[in-house]
Amino acid sequence: MIFEIVNDVPTITPEGLSIPELLKIWKGDRTKTKSKAYMILAYIYHTVNPKSVYSALAEDDRKKEVARDFMKDEDYKETKIVKEAKEKYKKLTTTHSMRLLKASKEVVDKLSNYLHSVDFVEKGANGKPLHSAKDTIDNMKKIGPLIDSLNKIEDQVKKEQSQKVEKVRGGAEFNIFEE
Please state, as a whole number, how many other Cβ atoms lie within 10 Å of the Cβ of residue 13: 16
Task: Supply the pLDDT for residue 50.
Answer: 81
Task: Supply the pLDDT for residue 164.
Answer: 59
Q: Flag whether pLDDT at 77 surpasses 70.
A: yes
Beta bridge partners of 3: 12
Q: Flag whether pLDDT at 177 surpasses 50.
A: no
Per-residue pLDDT averaged across 84-99, rounded?
90
Gap between the Cα atoms of 101 and 168, Å rounded = 25
Gap between the Cα atoms of 78 and 109, Å rounded = 23
Gap between the Cα atoms of 3 and 49, Å rounded = 10
Gap between the Cα atoms of 69 and 43, Å rounded = 9
Per-residue pLDDT averaged across 153-174, rounded?
64
Task: Return the top range by mean pLDDT from 39-43, 71-75, 158-162, 175-179.
Answer: 39-43
Asked if 4 and 24 touch (Cβ cutoff 8 Å), the reply is no
Gap between the Cα atoms of 101 and 47, Å rounded = 15
Tens of pLDDT, residues 93-112: 888 888 888 888 888 889 88
Q: Flag whether pLDDT at 11 surpasses 80.
A: yes
Gap between the Cα atoms of 101 and 108, Å rounded = 10
Where does the chain show beta strands of DSSP type E? 3-6, 9-12, 168-169
Task: Supply the pLDDT for residue 5.
Answer: 86
Asked if 24 and 16 touch (Cβ cutoff 8 Å), the reply is no
Q: Flag whether pLDDT at 29 surpasses 90.
A: yes
Task: Supply the pLDDT for residue 8.
Answer: 79
Share of the chain above pLDDT 90, in %: 47
Average pLDDT of the residues of the chain: 86
